[in-house]
Amino acid sequence: MNPAPADAEAHEHSHADVSGGWLRAAVFGAMDGLVTNTALVAGVGGGGAAPRAIVLAGVASLVAGAISMALGEYTSVKTQNEQLDLEVAKERAELERNPEGELAELVQMLRVRGVEEDLARDVAVQLSQNPETALRLHVVAELGLNPEDKPSPRVAAVSSFLTFGTGALVPLLPYLLGFSALWAALLCGGLGLVVAGALSSRFTPRPWWYAGLRQLLFGAAAAGITYLIGSAIGTTVS
């Protein structure tokens, strides 16, 4: 026996986080930490600094960057949520002040999506019987955001803090393990960028090698430019 249409659609599936919450903060934090400290190590090392000075600068950058990233993510996500709350309040007031106009707007939204006019009006009238349902539909259609699916500022901040710190630690590992060669730190940073890019490809349609090489290219460009600047400043100062 073939399943009924309703049964055929009643399957469970899940989607990745695309609302700007922990995933965006984690990816951005890890990449920023890797690029920032790989470039910093290249610049300070290129300027002729001793390993101890490189580690000191790298650790200071790690701590300051992780705190800055966390505060920035918290403020950014909090502001976005507050702006969404304000727009929801405006839409709620408009539904109360001009219900007929909002009903006509909802009918038009349905028609644009391919629903016939008479059916669109019947559906809009039925949906508008529940003010919260009508409000959510208007907000999602007009703003592209679901007021019930807001990202957490705290989660974004913690995620960014931890991943930035982890990424920034990678290029310092050779120095912390007793290796004083600059190339070892840059190699670690490069490998970290490839791995981080490859992992991020799990949430995108890009192949892992493409994402990994793209991040390596970005990091290499930043490190190369910073190394040249550090070398020029080191030569001038000495």
List the domain range (segments joined by +) for residue 81.
Answer: 20-237
pLDDT digits (tens, 9 = 90+) for 216-225: 999 999 999 9
Tell whether 213 is covered by a domain.
yes
Tell whether 156 is covered by a domain.
yes
Tell whether 1 is covered by a domain.
no
Q: Alpha-carbon distance 170 to 190, whole Å?
A: 9
pLDDT digits (tens, 9 = 90+) for 144-178: 777 777 889 999 999 999 999 999 999 999 999 99
Tell whether 137 is covered by a domain.
yes
Number of domains forming the structure of the chain: 1
Tell whether 108 is covered by a domain.
yes
DSSP 202: G
Q: Which of 90, 66, 46 is nearest to 163 (CA)?
A: 66
Tell whether 205 is covered by a domain.
yes
pLDDT digits (tens, 9 = 90+) for 69-88: 999 999 999 998 999 899 88
Instruction: Name the pTM for this structure.
Output: 0.78
8-33 average pLDDT score? 68
Q: Alpha-carbon distance 18 to 56, whole Å?
A: 37
Q: Alpha-carbon distance 41 to 51, whole Å?
A: 10
DSSP H helical ranges for the chain? 5-9, 22-46, 51-97, 99-112, 117-128, 131-143, 153-169, 173-176, 182-200, 208-237
Tell whether 10 is covered by a domain.
no
Exposed e or buried b per residue across 118-139, where buried means at least 16 C-beta atoms within 10 angstroms of its C-beta? eebbeebeeebeeeeebbbbbb
Tell whether 3 is covered by a domain.
no
pLDDT digits (tens, 9 = 90+) for 44-67: 999 999 999 999 999 999 999 999
Cβ atoms 114, 120 nearer than 8 A: no
SS3 (DSSP) at 19: coil
